[in-house]
Amino acid sequence: MSEFQFDIAKGPFAPNLDSLRTFCCPEWYRDAKFGIWSHWGPQSVPMYGDWYARQMYKEGSEQYRYHWRTYGHPSKFGYKDLVPLWKAENFDPEGLMRLYVEAGARYFVGQAMHHDNFDNFASKHNPWNSVNVGPKKDICLLWKRAAEKFGLPFGVSEHLGASYTWMSLSHGADKTGPYAGVPYDGADPKNASLYRDNDSELLEHGWYTRNEKYHQDWYRRIRDVVDTLQPELLYTDGPLPFGTYGEHLVAHLYNASAARHGGASQAVYTQKGTDPAIYKVGGAQAIAALAYGTDSIPKVDKIVGPGNIYVALAKKAVYGHVSIDSIAGPSEILVIADETANPRYVAADLLSQAEHDELASAILVTTSETLAKEVSKQVEVFVEELSRTEIMKKSLENYGYILVADTMEEVIDIANEIASEHLEIMTANPYDVMMRVRNAGAIFIGEYSSEPLGDYFAGPNHVLPTNGTAKFFSPLGVDDFIKKSSIVYYSREALKKIHKDVEQFAASEQLTAHANSIAVRFEGEE
């Protein structure tokens, strides 16, 4: 590795993570919001998915069967023979870019290469490229010119990092059938420029190879992409590849962009996921670390999730320095039931939450006095049988209730007022009841949808509002991680129609500068 010459562009970024972390997102990308990406290459010919070049060599797969049926067995007609069939004869990048702009796109990203090891530009390092084979066109350059014509920043995606292991199946052979043992065309050394020379390092053992020779090849080829196409966005289909090679590549991307833009890089590097940072910390001190940052734990913008009373109060204390989802209290369950409910089921479900801690609440609201008495008896039986007896007894003593109402309408009103974290509905018509419930964190319908399903298996997010906050909070969801902005635009004509009204509002509050900022635009006019 020490003999390899990186020779990156000079600029503000050094090829290490500490330096790259000083990256500041350029304004164009922060404001773009919406871009369109083209995921297009030779694998589009059979129209069987973007993993066709791999799956056609996987005996028994749909792609394998289709390929054999349509083109022939992969020992006789391989991916190398399919690539020339991609002609792109009707490719109209300007026409497409016009549609993308009309759709609202603020930037465009074209695919430089997929895992199939085929380059969509005039590659200096790979003979399998769109200028030499197939379309005989520089696909990415044509995309770039079209994007620039419409004023869109241009980016490229690279999927090369996994190619070495991804193409390994092409070196195999059928294990059964008439071609058993007959090598696929990838096993022929003369085809190694497309299929690589890897016949043993499998994708299943890791997305990225440890082969340093291949790391260097990846660097050269992606460096060629950056230098040739000068993208303002580079996407990697996976984590940043290959340690120092990836760090040098990103530093080069940023520095080259800075050189084109007067010293301030306009380039963006993005990637598909990475291993998440996991810190084994807990308690109020963990909340403090996340809110303010430490030497080992970076500051975050939002803290979500439940915890004990110390965690809940710590979240309350740091609110304002960071955003939080809500202040979660002890666990709660409320069961709505009528005479059709199974009392053993109801009792078991109530105790599923009472065992959490002594502050947990378990409430049954029913129209049936008979059910209420039977549930009470079953609770006593279960409490003595189950392991957390003392906790359950304390919980039920302090926060356990059975309420009997005259009508189902009263039951629903009580449930909406309590606004429980977990609400189970065990009635003859549970869906009718559900439609009248306004306030609940998670609703479980029917006698076979007990609350622990939400804890462990059912799927919806189980970070839920407690302590009656379901009246105004929702379960944790995608919306909690979306930040919105208001956008206001008035033309001169529109403002002219209402400017005196705005000035009057401001004057009534004695905010003369407010009024003036409107009035100054119509000085000298009636």
Share above pLDDT 70 across residues of the chain, in percent, rounded to a whole number: 99
191 with 145: CB under 8 angstroms? Answer: no
The mean pLDDT value of the chain amounts to: 94
162-202 pLDDT, tens per residue?
Answer: 999 999 999 999 999 999 999 999 999 999 999 999 888 88
Known catalytic residues are 421-422
Euclidean distance between CA atoms 93 and 140, whole angstroms: 10
The two tokens of residue 494 are: 């529109």
Confidence of residue 274 (pLDDT cuts 50, 70, 90): low
227 with 256: CB under 8 angstroms? Answer: yes
Residues 6+ apart with CB under 8 A from 44: 86
Residues 6+ apart with CB under 8 A from 477: 461
User: What radius of gyration, in Å, describes the C-alpha atoms of the chain?
Assistant: 32
Confidence of residue 302 (pLDDT cuts 50, 70, 90): very high
35-68 pLDDT, tens per residue?
Answer: 999 999 999 999 998 899 999 999 999 999 999 9
Euclidean distance between CA atoms 335 and 425, whole angstroms: 6
Total-model pTM = 0.61
Q: Is the pLDDT of residue 275 over 70?
A: no
Q: Is the pLDDT of residue 1 over 50?
A: no
SS3 510: coil
Please give the CATH superfamily to which domain 332-481 belongs: Nitrogenase molybdenum iron protein domain (3.40.50.1980)
Which residue ranges does the chain devote to CATH 3.40.50.1980? 332-481
Which residue ranges does the chain devote to CATH 3.20.20.80? 17-157+167-202+235-271
Confidence of residue 501 (pLDDT cuts 50, 70, 90): very high
Please give the CATH superfamily to which domain 17-157+167-202+235-271 belongs: Glycosidases (3.20.20.80)
400 with 361: CB under 8 angstroms? Answer: yes
pLDDT score recorded for residue 432:
96
Share above pLDDT 90 across residues of the chain, in percent, rounded to a whole number: 85
Q: Determine how many CB atoms are found less than 10 A away from the CB of residue 458.
A: 13
Confidence of residue 335 (pLDDT cuts 50, 70, 90): very high
